[in-house]
Each structure stands twice: as structure tokens, then as C-alpha cells.
Amino acid sequence: MTPRLAIRAAMALALGVPAFAPAAHAAETIDPVADKAAFQKFFTDKFPKLKREDFVNGPYSMNEDLHKQWQEKEEFPPYEFSLEDGKQMFTTPFKNGKTYADCFPNQGIGIRQNYPYFDEKEGKVVTLELALNRCREANGEAPISYVKDEMAALTAYMAFTSRGKPMDIKIPNDPRALEAYRLGKEYFYTRRGQLNFSCATCHVQSPGERIRAEVLAPALGILNAMPIYRSEWSGMGTTSRRFITCNSQTRAVPLNPQDDEYRNLEYYLSYVSNGLPISGPGARP
């Protein structure tokens, strides 16, 4: 983080945060519908030249030169190898003869936009990554890493089958679901780590700014492109990997993949991007 950007971020936070940030008092009214409208309006007002659906392209939506870079990458996408691996994994039977398709609605095709969801029986948020590992375990297979290539490949393939479909996250009329959403929102706006940054510091206050060579992505639509190929990783990364990396970059202690806090954060960020198209798998610098 450059001193200039750090000062600007600190000033922005000192001057106030958007109206959709959490209230400081415990009696805050939880209104996801109002949050979503305010969240999306904030970004469309901040970047009036962008179409709403363009936000899913992250930093490549920020200016014409970056957009041209994205178009060139899409001609020979660096995530193509992962798509092929993911499709092979998805369709290869487990030892018991079943496949991932047996665990999901519509055989797992074209459903990415519905994850994460709130499981009313369990009382918690279930992400796509978590559902995939639960599928494996239910069929006698060992779970795979939430941050490594296999999980990225599987989610890349499933995202690709949903490309263009609008994010469609539901919050059921269940106090536990609203609380999960609230906690996700709170995590997004809470400062942590040695740099005392929140997720919003970079992705609400400073999208389009640079941290070294990286252009910060807007929070709106940021998960629609997951999983992503990142040049700095020289490979694919899952949503879990991205959350862990962000914590590390702000010198905060990362949580374990699929801890409740990360699941709730994914629930919040996905819901406020409802209506924007799935664009994953994506590629970033």
C-alpha cells in the first residue's frame, strides 16, 4: 500500500462511510433489500460511465486500457486449463459409481448463481466450495483443499456453466439467515490487522486506485467472477484463497477456509451483487 493511498483511504473513512455500512449500535435494523439497492447505487453513481453488468469484470472495467487487456486475455484465457480439469473431475465417477452431479440440483449444471445459500436445517450458510467437499465425503471420498487447484477447477467448471445468469441469492424469512447476513456485512466493514483496514477500505473507498501494480476491484460483482486466475499466483484461486490472501495483505490473521465468518462474508457480498451476471472463471493481474 502506497503512503498516498493509505492517507486517502484514512481520510475517506474519517469523513464517513456509505449509508449502507453497518450502524454502530446493536439495534440496527437488518434490511438486505435496502442494503442491496444502496450498495449498487453507490457504485453506479461513483462510476456513471459503467454499465451495471460491467462491474463483474473487476479492475478491467475501470478504464479503456485495462478493458482492452481483458478482451485480449479472453481470446486465450489463462484459466482454460482449469476448466478442462474441472469438467473431467466433475464427470469422473467416485469409487461408488456416483459423480458430483448426483449431489446437486439440475445435475450441478447452471446453478452457480444460487450459491451460497442459507441451510435452514443446519442454520448456517453453505457455500459452493463447502457443498463440493460435503459431496465428496458423502460418497466416501476425502475432502480436497479449499485453496488448491482441484477446488478451483471444480468451481471454475460450475461457474462456466452459469455464465451470464444473474446472481440470485435468497435470504429466507429466518432470523438466523438475517443474522448470518448481518455478520457478513459487519465483517466486510470491520477494520483489522496491523494496517487497520477493512475489506471496504480497498473495495468500496478505493476501487480503481493502485496498490503497487494492482488496480483495486470494486466490491460490486467481485464474487461473480470467482474463481479467478491471478498472475501473482501463476494459477487459479478459489474464493477461500482470495479471502485468506486479503487478510494476509492487510497483516491480519487469516481464518480457516470455510469458517463461519468467511461463509457469512460470502453470503453478504453475493447478495448485494444480486442481478449481476456470473462471469467466472475470471482472470486478474
pLDDT at 19 over 80: no
* Cell matching residue 277: 451476471
pLDDT at 214: 75
Structural domain includes residue 16: no
222, part of any domain: yes
pLDDT at 34 over 80: yes
pLDDT at 112: 98
- 163-178 residue pLDDT tens: 999 999 999 999 999 9
What percentage of the chain has pLDDT greater than the value 70?
89
Tens of pLDDT, residue by residue over 177-196, are 999 999 999 999 999 989 89
Question: Checking DSSP bridges between strand 210-211 and strand 214-215, what pairing results, if any?
Answer: antiparallel
Range of the domain at 36: 3-7+29-77+170-284
Which CATH number belongs to the domain containing residue 121 in this structure?
Answer: 1.10.760.10
Inform me whether the pLDDT recorded for 4 exceeds 50: no
pLDDT at 28: 64
Residues 185 and 235 in one domain: yes
48 vs 76, higher pLDDT: 48
Same domain, 175 and 123: no
If asked whether residues 72 and 209 sit together in one domain, one would say: yes
Rounded distance, CA 155 to CA 111, Å? Answer: 11
What was the pLDDT predicted at 152? Answer: 96
* Non-local CB neighbours of 284 within 8 Å, separated by 6+ positions: 58, 59, 217, 225, 228, 229, 230, 231
Q: Are residues 224 and 91 in the same domain?
A: no
Encode pLDDT of 39-63 as tens digits. Answer: 999 999 999 989 999 999 988 887 7
- Asked whether residue 193 is domain-assigned, the answer is yes
Beta strands in the chain (DSSP E): 117-119, 124-126, 210-211, 214-215, 228-230, 235-237, 282-284
Count up the domains in the chain and report the number: 2
Note the pLDDT tens digit of each residue in 218-265.
Answer: 999 999 999 999 877 888 999 999 999 999 988 999 999 999 999 999
Catalytic residue check, 135: no
Shared-domain flag, residues 250 and 280: yes
Q: Is residue 192 part of a domain?
A: yes
Rounded to whole angstroms, how far apart are CA atoms 251 and 211? 15
* Three-point CA angle 243, 248, 249, nearest 5°: 95
Are 49 and 119 contained in the same domain? no
Q: What is the pLDDT of residue 116?
A: 98
* Residue 123, Ramachandran bin (φ over 0: left; ψ between -120 and 50: alpha; else beta): left
Does residue 15 have a pLDDT over 70? Answer: no
Please indicate, yes or no, if residue 114 is contained in any of the structural domains.
yes
Q: Do 174 and 275 belong together in one domain?
A: yes
Grid cell 486478474 in the structure block, residue = 284
Question: Where do we find the cell 435470504?
Answer: 171
**Distance, CA of 123 to CA of 78 (rounded, Å):** 38
Is the residue at 165 inside a domain? no
Catalytic residue among 103, 135, 202, 246: 246
Q: 207 or 94, which is more confident?
A: 94
**Which comes out higher in pLDDT, residue 213 or 75?**
75
User: Same domain for 134 and 205?
Assistant: no
**Same domain membership, residue 139 and residue 94:** yes
> What are the tens digits of pLDDT across the range 108-161?
999 999 999 999 999 999 999 999 999 999 999 999 999 989 999 999 999 999
Tell me: do 177 and 257 sit in the same domain: yes
Question: Cis link prior to 281 (omega < 30° from 0)?
Answer: yes
